[in-house]
Each structure stands twice: as C-alpha cells, then as structure tokens.
Amino acid sequence: MIVLGIESSCDETGLALYDTERGLLGHALHSQVAMHEEYGGVVPELASRDHIRRALPLLEQVLQQSGVALAEVDAIAYTLGPGLAGALLVGSSIACSLGLALDKPVLGVHHLEGHLLSPLLASEPPAFPFIALLVSGGHTQLMRVDGVGQYTLLGETLDDAAGEAFDKSAKLLGLGYPGGPAISRLAEFGDPAAYKLPRPMLHSKDFNFSFSGLKTAVLTVVKNQTNVCEQDKANIARGFVDAIVDVLTAKCVNAIRHSGLKRLVIAGGVGANAQLRASLNAAAAKRKFRVYYPELQFCTDNGAMIAFAGAMRLQINPQAAKKDYSFNVRPRWPLEELRVI
Ligand code: KG4
Ligand code: ZN
C-alpha cells in the first residue's frame, strides 16, 4: 500500500510517499524559515499562502524521486491538526481535492502522532512499548507508548513548550528565528560556570515541566546588563541550554525508572539538539537504557512522518481512510483523544 503524506501545519510544507512493503519511497520539503525570519516568528497568513504555492511542485518532485505515478497512490494522509488553522486548511483541501480527483480515500493524521512515530522510520527502530519525550515548538510531553494509538500521557509542560523556551530565549539574545539551533550553537562557546540559571520543577515528583521561569531568568540577566558582549551572550546561552537539558534529561530518567522500560524515544524539533542528545546518551549509558532518535531530517516537521503515521493507522484499520472529501481541521487536538480500539 502506498500512502501519500501531506504536512502543512506550520512553516514547513512536506510531501512524502511511504510504501508499507518498501518503506519510504521519497520525500520533499520546503521550509519557510527565510520568509518568516524578518518578522521574528511565523506569520500565519504568509504561511498559508506559501503552502499553496509549494504543495503541488513538491508533489511533482516526490513522485519523480520515487518513480511512482499518482494513480498508484492508494491513500492520502494529511495533517488534520494541531497547528495553524489556515495552514492546516491548505493541506486538507489539497489532500481532499486530490482524493476526489483520483478516487482515493483520505485520512486526517495527528501531527504529534507523526512526530511520535517518526523514530520508527530509522534503520534500527525501537520496539513497543517505550517512553517518548515529545519536544517541539508547541508541545513538551512525556508519554508511555504501547503501540500505534496507545498513548498514555505521563506529564507535560504547564506553560511554555521546550522549543518555545529555546525560541524566546534566543530572541532575547538577539538571535534569529528559529532560535533553537542558533542558541544551541552559541552555547558551545559559553562558560558553563558563568550563569547558573534555574531548573524549574527539576525535583517535582511528577513528570510535568515548566519553562516560562527559565525564559524570565534569561530576560532578567539580559536586562541587568547595559552592554551584553558576544562572550556574555554565549555564556547566557550556555546557562540556558544546560538548565533546560538538565530538566529534560532528569524527567526522562525518572519516567524510565518509574515505568521499568528500557527504551526512550525522542521526537520533535528539539530532539535535534546536540546538547540534549549528548546528555541523554550519557544518562542512558549510565542507567542501562537505550535512546532512539528520528533521523535529523525527520526531527522537525516533514511529510514522511505524516505518510508513515497514516500508513500505520491504515494497517490497523483499513477503513480509517474514507472517500469523504468534505474537510475540516483541528487546530487544537489533544493527542490523548487518539485511541485505536
Ligand atoms: O517539531 P517542530 O519542527 O515543530 C513543531 O511541531 O512545533 O519543532 C520546532 C522547534 C522550534 O522551537 C525550534 O527552535 C526547535 O524545534 N529546534 C531546536 C533545534 N532544532 C529545532 N531546538 C534546539 N536545538 C535544535 N538543534
Ligand atoms: Zn511539529
């Protein structure tokens, strides 16, 4: 079965073809980062318009790359939510129009389920069950995953998401958008002893997070200086990255210990972070569990994870895709609402 995946929930247009027998056949992506950069963040209306411009050329690209004709596609999976309403509507309408024109069934996919399952696209995928840390621009959640559609939320952020904390702190330091990669690179040159920033909820007995205080601590440090020199910026970046990585690592270790499981999966954009990976790998070596990451190109938003999640859903329930082309979107959609009976 060949599934076409369409992702358009935020500032990346991603298309991909996944074959349940042959694996990922091809994927194409356009990032809007350069377009939004001058505004310091995503401008929703611009995002929607750009998805319209990019989607069909990317579809052509992915078909060519895969050597697959559109008629060979068995089903079309698209991101139904959560995300920006206008951006989601573009992907949904394209998916449903294609479905109608080709007489193929369509299936709305949960964006976070895409992220969550993306490590299964790797050459050595984790087996179920596992603990998953989902760290993206909009979400920070720890979950127990027993199978496709079997997700138990263990804890989540009470305020800012990890990616949001990276982006906001980077902005305070005058770094570009998205700030995650920029602040992470700068931190490499910082002195770890210069700023000891707070580690919110590090010792709380639950699996929840809170990052807005850490961002405020960065703000306070920046405000208290009349002239923040380059080395100082790097030191603050280092203080921030060390703090957030410490909290994320400690909560993952607690969840692993509490569950008795030996597999930890990291998904979402912040999963690309080098310092987080180093810290988790060190904890895993010490405590004898294994960490699985998506390939770097599939950490941030992409079409491959949507095609894959759609294919996994269809393997469980072939009726999940329908020839019903009236579409809507779910900009807010809690992952826990997903259940496979
Ligand atoms: O998963 P994603 O592409 O989009 C959402 O679904 O939100 O995640 C984007 C987030 C942004 O906040 C970005 O700054 C962060 O992931 N990010 C990183 C890195 N690469 C992306 N944060 C820290 N270090 C990175 N290397
Ligand atoms: Zn995402």
Convert the pLDDT of each residue in 104-141 to its tens digit.
Answer: 999 999 999 999 999 999 999 999 999 999 999 999 99
Domains (range + CATH), the chain: 2-117+298-337 (3.30.420.40), 128-293 (3.30.420.40)
What average pLDDT does the segment 38-46 reach? 95
Q: What percent of the chain has pLDDT over 70?
A: 99
pLDDT above 80 (res 211): yes
Calculate mean pLDDT across residues 300-310: 98
Ligand 1 near 83 CB (within 6 A): no
Residue 329, pLDDT above cutoff 60: yes
Q: Mind listing the pLDDT tens digit for each residue in 165-196?
A: 999 999 999 998 889 999 999 999 999 999 99
- pTM, two decimal places: 0.95
pLDDT confidence of residue 341: 47
Average pLDDT over every residue of 233-238: 98
Protein residues with C-beta less than 5 angstroms from the ion ligand 2: 136, 301
Confidence (pLDDT) at 227: 85
> Has residue 25 got a pLDDT over 90?
yes
The verdict on the CB of residue 268 being under 6 Å from ligand 1 is yes
17 band by pLDDT with thresholds 50, 70 and 90: very high
- The residue to mutate among 298, 300, 302, 333, having the most atoms of ligand 1 within 8 angstroms of its beta carbon, is 300
195 within ligand 1 shell (Cβ under 6 A):
no
Ligand 1 pocket member 136 (CB < 6 A): yes
- Answer yes or no: is the C-beta of 177 below 6 A from any ligand 1 atom: no
Atom 21 of ligand 1: nearest residue by CA position: 269
* Distance from residue 141's CA to the centre of ligand 1 (Å): 14
pLDDT higher than 90, residue 33:
yes
User: What does the pLDDT read at residue 340?
Assistant: 61
Q: What is the mean pLDDT of residues 225-229?
A: 87
3 state SS for the chain: CEEEEEECCCCEEEEEEEECCCEEEEEEEEECHHHHHCCCCCCHHHHHHHHHHHHHHHHHHHHHHHCCCHHHCCEEEEEEECCCHHHHHHHHHHHHHHHHHHCCCEEEEEHHHHHHHHHHHCCCCCCCCEEEEEECCCCEEEEEEEECCEEEEEEEECCCCHHHHHHHHHHHCCCCCCHHHHHHHHHCCCCCCCCCCCCCCCCCCCCCECCHHHHHHHHHHHHCCCCCCHHHHHHHHHHHHHHHHHHHHHHHHHHHHHHCCCEEEEECHHHHCHHHHHHHHHHHHHHCCEEECCCHHHCCCCCHHHHHHHHHHHHHCHHHCECCCCCCCCCCCCHHHCCCC
> Does ligand 1 have an atom closer than 6 angstroms to the CB of 301?
yes
